[in-house]
Amino acid sequence: MELQIGARTEGTVTVIDVAGEIDLYTAPRLEEALTRGAAGAPPLLVVNLSKTTYMDSTALRVLTAALKRIHERDGTLALVSTQSKIGKLFTITGLDQVFPIYSTEPEAIEKARAHGSRQP
Amino acid sequence: MRLGIRGKVACVILICMVPVLVLGVLLSLQQDQGRRNLVLRTQQDAAHTLASDFSTFVENTVHAELAAGSAVESQPYPVVGIVQLLASIRAYDTSFLWLGLIMPDGRVEASAPPGDAYTNVATHWAFAAVRAGAPWAAGVISAPNRRPELEVATGIPEGPRLAAVVDGVVDLTRVRPMLPTGLASDMDGIIVDNGGRVVFDLRRPGRPVNALASLPAVQAALRGQPSMIEGYRDAAAGGPQIGAAVPIADLRWAAVVLEPERTALAPVRRGGQEELGWVVAAVGLGVFLAWVLGAELTAPIVALANGARAIGRGEVGYRVRMRRTDELGELGTAFNEMSERLARSHAEINALQSVSDAALSTVRLDELLARLVQHIASALRADGGTVWFVDDATGDLIVPQDSDTGAAGARRLARGEGLAGRVADGGRALVLSGEEAFRALDPRLLAQGVRAAACVPLRVGGRVIGVLELIARGERDFRAQDVRLIEAFADRVALAVDNARAYGRQREIAGVIQEALVPTPSVRLPGMAIAGRYVPSREVGGDFYAVLPLGHGRVGLAIADVTGKGIPAATLSARARYLLEAFVLDGRPSEAVVARMNAVLTRDAASGLFVSLFYGMVDPEAGTLRYTRAGHPAPFLLRAGVQAPEALDAPGLLLGVDPAARYPAVEVQVGPGDLLAMFTDGITEARRPDGELFGDQRLVDTLIELREAQPERIADEIMAAVGRWSGDGPTDDQALVIARVLPWGANVGERSAREHAVR
């Protein structure tokens, strides 16, 4: 399935919806969306992967690189994952310990917002 | 509402028709007047006829009276005889109510019927007129309660003297049958006397005596002037009447004809309506013809519009059918020419596109050239083509294998030799045609039956790297526009060649690096039998595995996957590989090896790449496997005698992400016969064409099925199953290691294990 990326704002939080497959060829689009979404100060991002059907290591690299940049600016990048195969990928790679991962979007947004309000 | 051209033409015609319509109506009205006059004339004629008939009647009466008078005068009749004569005339002419012979002194000599009914006729105007000298005179006898009667007095001369007067009273009702009524049924004929009084009315005997007296036309007629009557109304007739009044000769009376306008003018109206009908029909026909002719006019426009739409949809080359010689026909011809040119340039663009696609479809130079030449030759309807490359060392032109689809023969041309050599040297396109030209410049092509050829240089960054030569064996001239197209093709060919060469170099480098990394597929150690498989994807990736003897029978087993592709991945892979070899020395615990690897690789953060790694150390003597996992898919351990495998899934983050990540070690018991399967995601994520992944379960199933087989066979079967699954070659590197723990000491004769394991 073709990758479809949409971005929207929920108050201070930017939510990026990712539907379809992220691989070597489509990952640059995710990277672009993440860069654009991380414009806030601090950047508060939620990437909703509940409609993502496939991810490979390139996608992980893009997400991880974005996470590093966002952490440097005291922001947060939370993920929403409802599918076991996507969740499994994070478990295998240990990235479930690096990314805050939530099973519902409102929870992810709430946590991201809370993170933002803790910042000075 | 939107009017098409047809509608507009019809409207224009309709508008043009308006004056015609008005003129038609005017003419019709004029015609109406003419017809009306004709009707009036007819009525006048009828009145004349009536007048003359009445005159004739009166004259007949006069003749009868004259005859009677003459008979009486010619011989001396006794009075009784005269009475008898008069009675016989009355019997013959029954219209006479009374007939008398009157002496000039007014005495009634004799009468029939006898009696004194009309004894006073001598006092009447008629008698007086005759006695005054008129040959005859007529008058009306009117009395209350009696219908008017006609009195005709005729003088009977005797020499210059008046001998007597014959006076007859005529019953006017007897006139009717005697009048030849040539009048139409709706026409009324009326006789009026010199006073304008109605003497006789053919159809309406009850008409009041003075009904017509005041009509100017009647008065004019009494003055001797025939006149028309228009718009006469009387109470009894209802609507207006028209007619005519004419004088009755000799009598100073008038004959009047009246007819209701409604019936009299019916033909006029009918005629007018008919004419109007014709005019409207003519206008209608005009508009209809305009509509039909409009169709004739607009059909080609509609056809052209359809053509334009068709071209808009991409049906270039669409032709409109138009058999016309007028301006529209010219437009159609121009359209078809345009369409044809569009089709031609479309085909050229398509050919360019297909060449570009072909240029992008593969990076293998030999395949590429064969495809490109084929596309270009077919686009130009040439019989074949050759791509010659400049040999950098000698400056000669050479043909790589497979790039020639038509021209056999020479594979090498000396610098400047033949058409291709000249083009390569001069850097300019050349076209040859005609035997003479070939004989002079390139007899080799002539010998091959070539009769026309075009050759253009291939340039990369301004440097000529070769030429593209197209040939035709039949009658075919390469024109300037063909050459431009060939040059456009040549640009793409040159780019593709350059790209393929660059890719080839890169692949070669990556391949060399990678080759250095992959261990021999099969290793046999004292405590373990190990089979390794590695299938690189088309683009060089970063998977590797390692089997590392660590002394005392211990074996380090590692499998890793570097994100990314190409040279960056290959070099990182090499780096990781050497780091690993360095860190495992002396049998350092797995968690320490992995933590150090992470510490070093995280410092390479700039690369943005990371590595997944599984590292475990088997101690067959102790029967343990101590491992640490860093984001790598968990290997399966299938223990002898246990139905399902166990996943070695201790937690651990990918290497290179977090310098502070913690990597715990897990130690499990292993014994002889236990089977360990390590793999990269190229195995489990191999995709079937429909997108489904090979997955863990199929791997586990194969493992269980073949649990008794040698590692070599298990590895082969798994790779074959994965190959069948993905069909069209791997899109990601695939690495697999199958290791079986052997009974300790089973492999005596251990040589330098290090020699076996690592190249």
B267, B264, B243: which is closest to B255 by C-alpha? B243
Give the pLDDT confidence of B355-365 residue by residue, as tens digits: 777 766 666 67
- Alpha-carbon Rg for chain B, nearest whole angstrom, is 68
Which residue, among A31, A57, A77, A89, would best test binding to B if mutated, counting the most B CBs under 10 Å from its CB? A57
The answer to whether the beta carbons of residues B65 and B168 sit under 8 Å apart is yes
Give me the residue from B612, B653, B691 closest to A97, CB to CB: B653
- Tell whether the model's pLDDT for residue B372 goes beyond 60: yes
- Pairwise CB contact (< 8 Å): A60 & B654: yes
Q: Which residue has the tokens 């099925």?
A: B705
The pLDDT assigned to B753 comes to: 40
Q: What angle do CA B637, B642, B643 make, to 5 degrees?
A: 95
Does the beta carbon of A98 lie under 8 angstroms from any beta carbon of chain B? yes
- DSSP H helices in B75-114: 79-92
Strand positions, DSSP E, B28-129: 96-102, 108-112
Q: A31 or B91: whose pLDDT is higher?
A: A31
Does the beta carbon of A92 lie under 8 angstroms from any beta carbon of chain B? yes
Judging by DSSP bridges, how do beta strands B161-170 and B96-102 pair with one another? Answer: antiparallel
For residue B729, which amino acid is it? Answer: G
- Tell whether the model's pLDDT for residue B410 goes beyond 70: no
- Tell whether the model's pLDDT for residue B597 goes beyond 90: yes
3-state secondary structure of B464: strand
Contacts with B564 from chain A: Cβ below 8 Å: 58, 61
Contacts with B654 from chain A: Cβ below 8 Å: 60, 64, 93-95
> Which residues contact residue B657 at a Cβ distance below 8 angstroms, ignoring those fewer than 6 apart?
A64, A95, A98, B602, B610, B631
The CATH class given to the B516-757 domain equals alpha beta
* Mean pLDDT across B463-469: 89
Positive or negative, the CA dihedral A39, A40, A41, A47 is: negative
Contacts with B681 from chain A: Cβ below 8 Å: 56-57
Contacts with B649 from chain A: Cβ below 8 Å: 92
Shortest Cα distance from A105 to chain B (angstroms)? Answer: 25
Q: Which segment of B199-208, B435-444, B628-637, B706-715 scores lowest on mean pLDDT?
A: B199-208
- Pick the residue from chain A with its C-alpha nearest to B695: A85
The answer to whether the beta carbons of residues B547 and B557 sit under 8 Å apart is yes
Does the beta carbon of A88 lie under 8 angstroms from any beta carbon of chain B? no
Q: B482 or B272: whose pLDDT is higher?
A: B482
Q: A41 or B555: whose pLDDT is higher?
A: B555
Does the beta carbon of A83 lie under 8 angstroms from any beta carbon of chain B? no
Shortest Cα distance from A11 to chain B (angstroms)? Answer: 30
* Mean pLDDT across B447-471: 88
Does the beta carbon of B658 lie under 8 angstroms from any beta carbon of chain A? yes
Q: Which helix (DSSP H) or strand (DSSP E) does residue B8 occupy? A: helix B5-74
The pLDDT assigned to B327 comes to: 81
The pLDDT assigned to B756 comes to: 38
Is ipTM beyond 0.90?
Answer: no
The pLDDT assigned to B321 comes to: 83
For residue B257, which amino acid is it? Answer: V
- Tell whether the model's pLDDT for residue B118 goes beyond 80: no
Q: Which segment of A67-76, B254-263, B365-374 scores lowest on mean pLDDT?
A: B365-374
* Mean pLDDT across A102-106: 93
Does the beta carbon of B492 lie under 8 angstroms from any beta carbon of chain A? no
For B:668-697, CB contacts with A below 8 A are 681, 685, 691
The pLDDT assigned to B102 comes to: 85
Shortest Cα distance from B569 to chain A (angstroms)? Answer: 12
- Pairwise CB contact (< 8 Å): A57 & B612: yes
B303, B302, B340, B333: which is closest to B318 by C-alpha? B340
Domain coordinates of chain B in residue numbers?
Answer: 35-264, 362-510, 516-757
Polymer length in residues for chain A: 120
* Mean pLDDT across B514-521: 65
What DSSP assignment string belongs to B605-670?
GGG---EEEEEEEEETTTTEEEEEEEBSPPPEEE-TT-SS-EE-----PPBTS-TT-----EEEE-
The pLDDT assigned to B662 comes to: 92
Residue B757 banded pLDDT, cuts 50, 70, 90: very low
The pLDDT assigned to B524 comes to: 66
Contacts with B605 from chain A: Cβ below 8 Å: 68
Does the beta carbon of A24 lie under 8 angstroms from any beta carbon of chain B? yes
Quick one: tokens of B23?
């003129």
A with B: how many residue pairs have Cβ under 8 Å apart? 52
The pLDDT assigned to B180 comes to: 58
Q: B119 or B312: whose pLDDT is higher?
A: B312
Q: Which helix (DSSP H) or strand (DSSP E) does residue B355 occupy? A: helix B327-361
Contacts with B612 from chain A: Cβ below 8 Å: 57, 93
Domains and CATH numbers, chain A: 1-71 (3.30.750.24)
- Pairwise CB contact (< 8 Å): A56 & B732: yes
- Tell whether the model's pLDDT for residue B1 goes beyond 70: no
Give the pLDDT confidence of B55-89 residue by residue, as tens digits: 888 888 888 888 888 887 777 777 778 888 888 88
- Pairwise CB contact (< 8 Å): A93 & B654: yes
- Tell whether the model's pLDDT for residue B521 goes beyond 70: no
The pLDDT assigned to B754 comes to: 37
- Chain mean pLDDT for chain B: 82
Does the beta carbon of A8 lie under 8 angstroms from any beta carbon of chain B? no
The pLDDT assigned to A44 comes to: 92
B632, B557, B629, B543: which is closest to B587 by C-alpha? B557
Contacts with B658 from chain A: Cβ below 8 Å: 98
Does the beta carbon of B661 lie under 8 angstroms from any beta carbon of chain A? yes
Give the pLDDT confidence of B277-305 residue by residue, as tens digits: 887 888 788 878 877 877 777 777 888 88
CATH 3.30.450.40 assigned to domain B362-510? The reply is: yes
Quick one: tokens of B92?
């013959």
For A:43-72, CB contacts with B below 8 A are 54, 56-58, 60-61, 64-65, 68
Q: Which segment of B36-45, B219-228, B406-415 scores lowest on mean pLDDT?
A: B406-415
Residue B120 Ramachandran class (φ > 0 left, ψ -120 to 50 alpha, else beta): alpha
Give me the residue from B609, B633, B661 closest to A92, CB to CB: B633
* Identical topology for domains B35-264 and B516-757: no
Shortest Cα distance from B608 to chain A (angstroms)? Answer: 7
Does the beta carbon of A103 lie under 8 angstroms from any beta carbon of chain B? no
When mean pLDDT is compared over B269-278, B525-534, B565-574, the highest value belongs to B525-534
Shortest Cα distance from B693 to chain A (angstroms)? Answer: 10
* Mean pLDDT across B342-369: 75
Which residue, among B657, B658, B685, B697, would best test binding to A if mutated, counting the most A CBs under 10 Å from its CB? B657
CATH superfamily of B35-264: PAS domain (3.30.450.20)
The answer to whether the beta carbons of residues B301 and B46 sit under 8 Å apart is no
Q: What angle do CA B731, B733, B735 make, to 5 degrees?
A: 140
* Mean pLDDT across B417-439: 87
Which residue, among B539, B594, B654, would best test binding to A if mutated, counting the most A CBs under 10 Å from its CB? B654
Contacts with A97 from chain B: Cβ below 8 Å: 651, 653, 661
Percent of chain B, pLDDT > 70? 90
When mean pLDDT is compared over A63-72, B312-321, B510-519, B710-719, the highest value belongs to B710-719
Give the pLDDT confidence of A28-43 residue by residue, as tens digits: 899 999 998 888 788 9
Give me the residue from B610, B634, B651 closest to A61, CB to CB: B610
- Tell whether the model's pLDDT for residue B408 goes beyond 50: no
- Pick the residue from chain B with its C-alpha nearest to A53: B691
